[in-house]
Structure 1
Amino acid sequence: MRAPIDWLRDHVAVPEGAGAAEVAAALVSVGLEEEALHTGGVSGPLVVGRVLSLEKEPQKNGKTVNWCQVDVGDVNGTGEPQGIVCGAHNFHEGDLVVAILPGGSVTTPQGPMEVSARKTYGHVSAGMICSARELGIGEDHDGILVLTDWFAGDAAMLDRLVPGADAIPLLGLDRETVEVNVTPDRGYCFSVRGVAREYGHATGAAFTDPATALAAAAPAATDDGVPVELTDDAPIRGRAGCDRYVARVVRGIDVTAPTPSWMKVRLTEAGMRPISLAVDVTNYVMLDLGQPLHAFDLDRLGERVVVRRARAGERLTTLDDVERTLDPEDLLVTDGGETPLAIAGVMGGASSEVGPGTTDVLLEAAHFDPVTVARSARRHRLPSEASRRFERGVDPLLAPAAAQLAVDLLVRLGGGTADPAVTDVGTPAPAPVVTMDPGFPARIVGVEYPAQEVVAVLEQIGCTVDAGEGPLAVTPPSWRPDLRTAEDLVEEVARIHGYDRIPSVLPVPPGGSGLTHGQRVRRTVADLLAAQGLSEVWEAPFVGPDRLADLGLDVAAETARTVRIANPLSDEAPLMRTSLLSTMVDAVRRNVSRGAKDVALFEVGLVTDLAGEQRPAPTVDVGVLPDDDVLAAIRAAVPDQPRHVALLLAGDRDRAGWWGPGRRADLTDVLELVRALGEALAVDLVTSADAVAPWHPGRCARVSLADGTPVGHVGELHPKVVQRLGLPERTVGGELDLDVLTRAAEATVRAHTLATYPMAQSDVALVVDRSVPAATLEEVLRSGGGDLLEDVRLFDVYEGDQVGPGKRSLAYRLTFRSADRTMTTEEVSGLRDAAVAAAASAHGAVQR
């Protein structure tokens, strides 16, 4: 919003010496962000000139230029006429124009341009005759600015137009404008009235609300006004599309009458282009008060106006000459309920536009629903100054005052007559009363605000405060639809009291236990894997049925245990993942495609595990605390989301170099990482052979707790999976349920006293069927070796002629130790033989 300083002074006592920078600083102190400061884009000698002579000179290129002699008084130091070449043809001898002399600067579409005396078209042109766009006070560049036309009807200004007079103050080019960024909750600041109010809050300057006097002067509604019906068969969120509509009629207007120069200058300073009297008046009122208005040609309307929702298939040609297909959610202003006249709050239609032949005008000042207007503006990609204000909330009590100001201006400037009949229908909803404890702002902000100061600030911003013995009952002003909760009022107290008066104090953390057990586990896992050379990645948790099929999973079963997204980012990935690996393979493939041959990645993230059918969660309005039943229903609709850790290794685990050849990552590397995780969390993990997708059936291990609780799987990806996904050959990895590990790690770890007696070791090599897993045989040895068997380690595997077909030899090192004595050879041999006997009994093991 651009607010000219001189315009602000109409509503608030801005000191005469205050510049744009000072005003902007005051506005920033109450939360209005400074966007820019604007001044006239002209410098140097800019004067009033009278055209003494004008000679038309055709050129060889077909263009005709004017060689002009212009009286600029004594400004040029000689008093002689100034010779200037001009290509425009909309002026004549004797006209008063604006001339900039050498040394000055004007603004062009390409940027600032320094003016100098230069030879052109056979003459030395000592200056330039300016257009409105070059002066920055309009968009007209077809011809130069003729001052008698610009100031038509303003006798006082016409008297000041003498050759040589400084044109900068005459055209208001020395005035400054502040541009502020208006946030969505401060829509009332999309007006000079609103910005002036905020300046008064910031500085204490006296603010005079122009709407007060205008509302008092506005006549009451009469029974003979233009009939207006407000109907809405499809309200959004239960709110009617239009809850107030004021219509005023002005007859006998001369719409061709010129817009006064002061209004054109103010519109231009505020960033709008002067168009015609009727349009300029409605825009001026909107900028001044914040109430958008629309002018209809009364002769083009029927007997009544109906505001309703659009019907399917209806079309309307808007003022930008675009025919638009309307949506049933669009709110329309119609002629008798049949012919659409305008998209309410967005843009009018061409059929009822005020034109050169218009004499009678119907002025509309209405209050439209913000959500309805916002949706229509975005649906039709039709942002307008009106919609920008309506969608942020317009004062519902402002319509009569705005209509009165527009009527007064049209009568005064256009020679019209105000119709005594007035239409004012609809009743806006009253502002809700907000209850707030006087000490609440101090508790929220951390600054002591006395109760009297809280009441004073709220009353200063326009609230009505009932300050009894208990909490304050606060009724926000009509122009502040954003004040709906006690927290909103706290923000106002802090803002008006001064954000700069809130001390910067580092908060003192409350005493506590620090990280939770789950957080410590996750950090331990991530730190360990990173220390082992793996890089952490994050992948979006969305997959499609094709990915599940590529992994060799049962698509129907996986789809049944996950959630289908109602509005997915991609139609190819509408499901929540049930496995980290299903999305993590993308990271491996992406890194390999970019030249990384050796990849080691891990991810810690959530997966979805839906038990039963997917149930929709109830929705509640924003700002409303759900009751216990609704919260329970929301929680019940959320599926289980266990946290997993997954890892994938591809390429070499040990890289080649001068030290020797490299080594490709294999299943043993993954098993070692799992073992390290178990040791770091003090959790006993047991691995056993398994065969599940997407792993190679002969190179897959099941990971579980000592009590048999499943934790996950590790292995080498199936060759077909690798081929379908485009992964490096023999990619290995695994996925573990981190929640299971977290619960297991909660058990107290008992410290064991270090043994002081020596250990005794004995090696055994057992021949068993190839189908017997090494881990299974190890467990049998442990159980058969007794309590003194401290450790069992597999150190060799042999398959060949010496053990026979279908057999293999597994060599284990058994470690025995007693806590109270040195064990004898006989004891060790006996315990070893017992362990071997248990293996022979369980799996037919034969000692080599």
Structure 2
Amino acid sequence: MRAAVSWIRAVVPGLPADVTTAQLADRLTALGLKLEAIERPGHDITGPLVVGRVLSFEDEPQKNGKTIRWCSVDVGAANGTGEPQGIVCGAHNFAVGDLVPVILPGGVLPGNFEIAARKTYGHVSAGMICSARELGLGDDHAGIIVLPPDAGAPGDDVFDVLPLRDEVIEFEINPDRAYALSLRGVGREAALAYGVPFTDPADRPAPSSPSAAYPVEVEDPVGCPVFTGRSVTGFDPSAPTPDWMARRIQLSGMRPISLAVDVTNYVMLELGQPIHGFDRDKLAGPIVVRRAREGERLRTLDGVDRNLSVEDLLITDDSGPIGLAGVMGGETTELCETTTNIFIEAAHWDPVAIFRTERRHKLPSEASKRFERGTDPTIPLIAADRVAELLTTYGGGTVEDGVTSVGAAPARTAILIDAELPARVTGMDIPAATTVDNLRAVGCSVVEDGSSLSVTPPPWRGDITDPFDLVEEVARIVGYANVPSVLPPAAHGRGLTRSQRLRRRIGRTLAGEGYVEIVSFPFIGTKDLDALGLEDSDPRRTVLRLANALSSEEPSMTTTLLPGLLKAASRNAGRGASDLALFETATVTLPRATGPAPIFGVDQRPSDAQLDELDKALPAQPLHLGLVVAGERERPGWWGEGRAATWADAVEAVRRVAESVGVEVTVRAAARAPWHPGRCAEVMVGDAVLGHAGELHPRVCTAYGVPGRTAAAELDLSRLLEHAAAMVEAPGFSNFPLAKEDVALVVDASVSVADVEAALREGAGEYLESIRLFDVYTGPQVGEGKKSLAFALRFRAPDRTLTEEEAGAARDVAVRLAAERLGAVQR
């Protein structure tokens, strides 16, 4: 909504004279009318722009068929000499003695158009006699502006005569502030901002008459609760729009067209009630408001033939549709240069019907923008009468006595509110009297009954429907800037939940290992599942499809975190960052065959049983941990050779995560997509499988564009946290020295390292502090189908130094148990 400051001041004459446009905009923004921009049309005009009197002129035909006038113009002392100014002008709509606006050399017109004395048509033209378009006052370029006889003396400043330098505030009007799409609404807010009286331009008596201005029948009172009209006869279609009205319309962002059209637009801007004028002589029979019928068509004022929907509200006569109600009129009855008799229609339309029609036909208009947000249903007849008054004042003719009025404005419902509610909600000290005064200031009718208030919103505020809407009205007037900033006290014994603490511990652990956390979209498509190499029977292919997906390529909720991680790794690798370690903790969605969720009413809180039903219909959403590591894990340099990331790094990261929450995990060989079948480990707690880690299959690396031999892991973090210790105890330390024992065992190639390590750990006893595999050998020395595994065993007692015999005995027991279980032979 664009509102000229001069028009606002005309509507609210009590505004303080020293209030600047910026200050006014700030106050209105604080009340909820968000400032979009402040424009200053005409402020780019500089230099001498003065009143000139035409002393004489000569018409000079040119070879190009054009006739110019060589004018002698008195500009007083503005040119420094007092001599008449010679100016070439192409317009012919002035006479000797007329006063005209003249810009002299050195001046600048809108568009940075600099004026200089230059030779043209055989004369040196020292300036320009200006048209409305050249001064930015309109689109009229056919003739220059002829000033009124009392405009001043030659040489006087034209800025004192023409409204050239105005200021315009453009507001971004929210849908619930429809009343502000008018000077009536903006003016009311301005008066409210400065506590000055407001005179409602719609506060005028509505006309009445026993006869109708034109016969009207409303078949759909729901779509059209109110339909009113007045008739004007003997109108002069050639009458010009007054300059002040054209200027206000132009500053509001609309284009002046003709007096009849401009008056309807002006009243719409003034009161917020869209108006439509029909050429009464073109109407055939009574007007009927109804829904469209199958197959009906209408050519609207924009020249487009439109196929109508049976849901469209229409204005019709005996010839058929003549207007798309609340959106745009039809060509057959439009006002034109020969219109002398006008029927003025002002109605109140159902906002939903207008919104749907506008979207259906892709036909937004100034009228529909207001109707779809809701207009004041009590002023259509007042607005129609205002249009009739302006038409006859400036275009002649007569307002007929008849008044068309069908229907009545819906009654407003009172809202009960506790007078102390605004204070409780906002935290501000708002006395009950302030609440009452502020509600009345916005137009509400308030009846006090002790601490309760019965508040009836004004008809132009369809957005006020419950007590908290009233709280908002009170709060915005008191001022949101006055809402105290108070930090609520933390309740005793609260803080992060156990799950939150454990998740943060896991994040810190992985960050310490060099991993970077990412957050990816939880959506997936068939292409991602194919890229992972999942079989058709894989449960991860059972996904929850979204009804309104953001992307048709990823229409489902993800069942695994790996696609998001691999896409992030691919983007990094594509930008040269191929050495990376990423992780993510997020939920995945695992559908269950529970059927659709029940739908309950919103009139009351669901019962506990209903909430249980809703919970049962939800898919399982366990928390997962995913990580990806690729490229160089250790960089080479003068200190030595680097090391590429391998499957072992993914497994080690999983171990570190488990240790951080006090869980001991075991790993064993497994085969599961998308991992390489020979380099995949299954992570377990007892007999429960938590997830998998290892090197990705080469086809998966190629499909996602990540470096070859990229490793990854994914764990069910929800299940891991179920086994997490309430408190992880720090390891104890002994002051006594280590006892070191190394063993090399030959086993079948099919025996896993984890099984051998488990046997050694069990057999080594209580003094075993650590066990580490440091070498794997296959070759002729151990035989075909065999491998040698070398382990470093470290023993330590908490209270004494272990003897060689004790350490050796523990080693021998460990080797013996590995031999019994796995057929291991010590080398």
- 1:347 pairs with 302, 311, 328, which one? 328
204-213 vs 249-258, greater mean Cα deviation: 249-258
Structure 2 residue identity aligned to 1:715:
G
Partner of 2:132: 132
444-453 vs 592-601, greater mean Cα deviation: 592-601
- 2:176 pairs with 185, 188, 195, which one? 185
Q: Deviations over 1:534-572 (max 9, x none)?
A: 333333222221221221113464476321122223322
* TM-score normalised by length of structure 1: 0.89
Distance (Å, rounded) in 2 between the aligned partners of 1:463 and 1:795: 84
Unaligned runs of 5+ in 1: 148-156, 233-239
Deviation at residue 412 of structure 1 after TM alignment: 2.6
Deviation at residue 342 of structure 1 after TM alignment: 2.6
Distance (Å, rounded) in 2 between the aligned partners of 1:226 and 1:715: 84
SS at the partner of 1:724?
helix
Distance (Å, rounded) in 1 between the aligned partners of 2:610 and 2:53: 79
- 1:656 pairs with 636, 640, 650, which one? 636
Classify 1:713/1:131 alpha carbon distance in 2 versus 1 (closer, same or farther; 3 Å): same
- 1:837 pairs with 780, 803, 816, which one? 816
Classify 1:13/1:510 alpha carbon distance in 2 versus 1 (closer, same or farther; 3 Å): farther
Structure 2 residue identity aligned to 1:486:
P
Distance (Å, rounded) in 2 between the aligned partners of 1:671 and 1:560: 25
Structure 1 residue identity aligned to 2:620:
D
SS at the partner of 1:781?
helix
SS at the partner of 2:112?
strand
Partner of 2:458: 477
Partner of 1:541: 522
Distance (Å, rounded) in 2 between the aligned partners of 1:599 and 1:16: 65
SS at the partner of 1:132?
coil
Q: Deviations over 1:325-353 (max 9, x none)?
A: 445554333335x7332333222222221
Question: After the TM superposition, which residues 441-480 of structure 1 pair with which residues of structure 2 at under 5 Å, given as runs?
Answer: 441-480=422-461
Question: After the TM superposition, which residues 392-407 of structure 1 pair with which residues of structure 2 at under 5 Å, given as runs?
Answer: 392-407=373-388
Contact persistence 2:584–2:627 (CA under 8 A): yes
Classify 1:181/1:545 alpha carbon distance in 2 versus 1 (closer, same or farther; 3 Å): closer
Contact persistence 1:563–1:614 (CA under 8 A): no
Partner of 1:774: 753
Distance (Å, rounded) in 2 between the aligned partners of 1:510 and 1:113: 68
Deviation at residue 728 of structure 1 after TM alignment: 2.2
5-14 vs 541-550, greater mean Cα deviation: 5-14
Q: Deviations over 1:684-731 (max 9, x none)?
A: 1221111111111110001122x3332210011112322333332211
Classify 1:26/1:424 alpha carbon distance in 2 versus 1 (closer, same or farther; 3 Å): same
Partner of 2:33: 32
Distance (Å, rounded) in 2 between the aligned partners of 1:779 and 1:717: 26
- 2:206 pairs with 195, 200, 217, which one? 217
Q: Deviations over 1:6-57 (max 9, x none)?
A: 4334432335734542544543453434421535444554444443433344
2:750 is aligned with 1:793:
no
Question: After the TM superposition, which residues 228-307 of structure 1 pair with which residues of structure 2 at under 5 Å, given as runs?
Answer: 228-231=217-220, 240-307=222-289
189-198 vs 40-49, greater mean Cα deviation: 40-49
Percent identity of paired positions between Structure 1 and Structure 2: 50
Distance (Å, rounded) in 2 between the aligned partners of 1:91 and 1:619: 75
Deviation at residue 653 of structure 1 after TM alignment: 1.7
Partner of 2:57: 54
- 1:226 pairs with 204, 215, 221, which one? 215
- 1:744 pairs with 701, 723, 730, which one? 723
Contact persistence 2:420–2:451 (CA under 8 A): no
Contact persistence 1:560–1:610 (CA under 8 A): no
Distance (Å, rounded) in 1 between the aligned partners of 2:520 and 2:646: 24
Partner of 1:804: 783
Contact persistence 2:322–2:330 (CA under 8 A): yes
Distance (Å, rounded) in 2 between the aligned partners of 1:671 and 1:522: 19
SS at the partner of 2:203?
helix
SS at the partner of 1:430?
coil
Partner of 2:87: 84
Classify 1:427/1:90 alpha carbon distance in 2 versus 1 (closer, same or farther; 3 Å): same
Give me the CA root mean square deviation.
3.1
Deviation at residue 444 of structure 1 after TM alignment: 2.2
Distance (Å, rounded) in 2 between the aligned partners of 1:794 and 1:736: 24
Distance (Å, rounded) in 2 between the aligned partners of 1:306 and 1:401: 21
Partner of 1:690: 670
503-512 vs 721-730, greater mean Cα deviation: 503-512
Between Structure 1 and Structure 2, how many residues are aligned? Answer: 823
Deviation at residue 648 of structure 1 after TM alignment: 1.5
Q: Deviations over 1:758-780 (max 9, x none)?
A: 65444333222111111112223
Distance (Å, rounded) in 2 between the aligned partners of 1:204 and 1:741: 64
Contact persistence 2:99–2:151 (CA under 8 A): no
Distance (Å, rounded) in 2 between the aligned partners of 1:774 and 1:415: 105
Contact persistence 1:38–1:179 (CA under 8 A): no
Contact persistence 2:327–2:363 (CA under 8 A): yes
717-726 vs 822-831, greater mean Cα deviation: 822-831
Partner of 2:14: 14
Deviation at residue 826 of structure 1 after TM alignment: 5.0
Structure 2 residue identity aligned to 1:728:
P
2:700 is aligned with 1:725:
no
Distance (Å, rounded) in 2 between the aligned partners of 1:520 and 1:20: 55
Structure 1 residue identity aligned to 2:388:
V
Question: After the TM superposition, which residues 297-446 of structure 1 pair with which residues of structure 2 at under 5 Å, given as runs?
Answer: 297-311=279-293, 314-335=296-317, 339-446=320-427
2:662 is aligned with 1:711:
no
Classify 1:515/1:321 alpha carbon distance in 2 versus 1 (closer, same or farther; 3 Å): same
SS at the partner of 2:499?
helix
Q: Deviations over 1:182-221 (max 9, x none)?
A: 33322212211112211211112111112122xx232267
Contact persistence 2:561–2:624 (CA under 8 A): yes
Contact persistence 2:181–2:370 (CA under 8 A): yes
SS at the partner of 2:134?
helix
Deviation at residue 828 of structure 1 after TM alignment: 4.5
Deviation at residue 361 of structure 1 after TM alignment: 1.7
Distance (Å, rounded) in 1 between the aligned partners of 2:765 and 2:790: 19
Classify 1:313/1:554 alpha carbon distance in 2 versus 1 (closer, same or farther; 3 Å): farther
SS at the partner of 2:722?
helix
- 2:100 pairs with 97, 101, 112, which one? 97
Question: After the TM superposition, which residues 491-570 of structure 1 pair with which residues of structure 2 at under 5 Å, given as runs?
Answer: 491-503=472-484, 513-555=494-536, 557-558=538-539, 561-570=542-551
Distance (Å, rounded) in 2 between the aligned partners of 1:791 and 1:702: 22
SS at the partner of 1:172?
coil
Partner of 1:607: 588
Q: Deviations over 1:396-432 (max 9, x none)?
A: 2221221121122223333333333333334444334
SS at the partner of 2:225?
strand
Distance (Å, rounded) in 2 between the aligned partners of 1:652 and 1:518: 33
Distance (Å, rounded) in 1 between the aligned partners of 2:28 and 2:210: 38
2:695 is aligned with 1:700:
no
SS at the partner of 2:392?
helix
Deviation at residue 294 of structure 1 after TM alignment: 0.9
Q: Deviations over 1:466-503 (max 9, x none)?
A: 32134323221111122223332222212212344445
Deviation at residue 732 of structure 1 after TM alignment: 1.1
Distance (Å, rounded) in 2 between the aligned partners of 1:26 and 1:836: 86
Structure 2 residue identity aligned to 1:839:
A
Deviation at residue 638 of structure 1 after TM alignment: 3.2
Structure 1 residue identity aligned to 2:189:
E
Question: After the TM superposition, which residues 107-186 of structure 1 pair with which residues of structure 2 at under 5 Å, given as runs?
Answer: 107=110, 111-147=111-147, 160=151, 166-173=157-164, 176-186=167-177
Deviation at residue 447 of structure 1 after TM alignment: 1.3
Contact persistence 1:580–1:644 (CA under 8 A): yes
Structure 2 residue identity aligned to 1:709:
A
Distance (Å, rounded) in 2 between the aligned partners of 1:630 and 1:221: 59
Distance (Å, rounded) in 1 between the aligned partners of 2:800 and 2:15: 100
